[in-house]
Structure 1
Amino acid sequence: MKFYKKVAVLLLIIPLFFSAFNISYGDENFDIKAKSSILIDYHTGEIIYEKNAHEKLPPASVTKIMTLLLTMEAIDKGKIGLKDEVIISTNASKMGGSQIYLEEGESQTVEDLIKAICLRSANDASVALAEYIAGSEELFVKAMNERSKELKMNDTNFENSTGLPHESHYTSAYDIALMSKELMKHAKIQEWLTIYMSDMKVGKKKDIVQSLVNTNRLIKDYQGANGIKTGSTSDAKYCLSASAKRGNLQLIAVIMGAETSKVRFEESKKLLDYGFANYDSVVIGKKGDIIGKVPINKGDKTHLEVVLKDDSYILIPKGSSGKAEKEIILPEVLNAPIEKGKEVGELILKIDGKSVDRVKLIAKETVDKAGFVNMFKKVVKGLLTNK
Structure 2
Amino acid sequence: MALFASFAIAPAAMAKENVPAKPATDLAPNARSAILMDADSGTVVFEKNSHTALPPASITKIMTMLLVMEAIDQGRLKMTDKVRTSEYAASMGGSQIFLEPGEEMTVEEMLKGVALASGNDASVALAEKLAGSETEFVRMMNDRAKELGMTETTFVNCNGLPAAGHVSSAHDIAIMSRELLKYEQITKFTGLYQDYLRKDSDKPFWLVNTNKLVRFYHGADGLKTGFTSEAKFCLSATARRDNLRLIAVVMGEPNTKTRNAEVSHLFDYAFAQYTNVQIYKKGDPIGTLKIEKGKVAQLPLTAKRSYSVLLKKGDAGKGLRHELVLNPSVKAPVKSGEPIGKLVVYRGEQVLKEFPVEAPMSVDRAGWWTLFKRATGQLFFAK
Q: Distance in 1 between matches of 2:297 and 2:52?
A: 55
Aligned partner of 1:180 in structure 2 is 177
The answer to whether the 8 A contact 2:17-2:351 is kept is no
Deviation at 1:134, TM superposition (A): 0.9
Q: 2:56 matched to 1:59?
A: yes
Equivalent pairs, count? 369
The one-letter amino acid paired with 1:98 is S
The answer to whether the 8 A contact 1:201-1:208 is kept is yes
Q: 1:238 aligns with which of 207, 220, 233?
A: 233
Structure 1 stretches of 4+ moved >6 Å: 294-304, 331-344, 368-371, 378-381
Deviation at 1:301, TM superposition (A): 11
Q: 2:319 matched to 1:323?
A: yes
Deviation at 1:21, TM superposition (A): 2.8
1:18 aligns to what SS in structure 2? coil
Moved more, 47-56 or 308-317: 308-317
Deviations, residues 330-379 of structure 1 (Å, cap 9, x unaligned): 58999999999997654322343436222427679x9x9999xx98xx79
Q: Distance in 1 between matches of 2:161 and 2:81?
A: 26
TM-aligned CA distance change 1:17 to 1:73, over 3 Å: closer
Q: 2:266 aligns with which of 261, 265, 271?
A: 271
Structure 2 unaligned segments of length 5 or more: list them: 10-15
1:47-196 matches, cutoff 5 A: 47-196=44-193
TM-aligned CA distance change 1:335 to 1:258, over 3 Å: closer
Aligned partner of 1:248 in structure 2 is 243
Aligned partner of 1:12 in structure 2 is none
Deviations, residues 271-303 of structure 1 (Å, cap 9, x unaligned): 011011111110011233223467899999998
Deviation at 1:64, TM superposition (A): 0.5
Q: Distance in 2 between matches of 1:71 and 1:340?
A: 21
Aligned partner of 2:357 in structure 1 is 360
Q: 2:221 matched to 1:223?
A: no
Task: Using structure 2 for the length normalisation, give the TM-score.
Answer: 0.83
The answer to whether the 8 A contact 2:17-2:354 is kept is no
Deviation at 1:105, TM superposition (A): 1.0
Q: Distance in 2 between matches of 1:356 and 1:120?
A: 38
1:231 aligns to what SS in structure 2? strand
Q: Distance in 2 between matches of 1:335 and 1:141?
A: 36
Aligned partner of 1:350 in structure 2 is 346
TM-aligned CA distance change 1:307 to 1:60, over 3 Å: closer
The one-letter amino acid paired with 2:23 is I
Aligned partner of 1:22 in structure 2 is 22
Q: Considering only CA atoms, is the larger Rg found in Structure 1 or Structure 2? A: 1
Deviation at 1:114, TM superposition (A): 0.4
2:302 aligns to what SS in structure 1? strand
TM-aligned CA distance change 1:295 to 1:177, over 3 Å: closer
1:188 aligns to what SS in structure 2? helix
Deviation at 1:66, TM superposition (A): 0.8
Structure 1 unaligned segments of length 5 or more: list them: 8-15
Give me the CA root mean square deviation: 3.6
Task: Using structure 1 for the length normalisation, give the TM-score.
Answer: 0.82
TM-aligned CA distance change 1:337 to 1:127, over 3 Å: closer
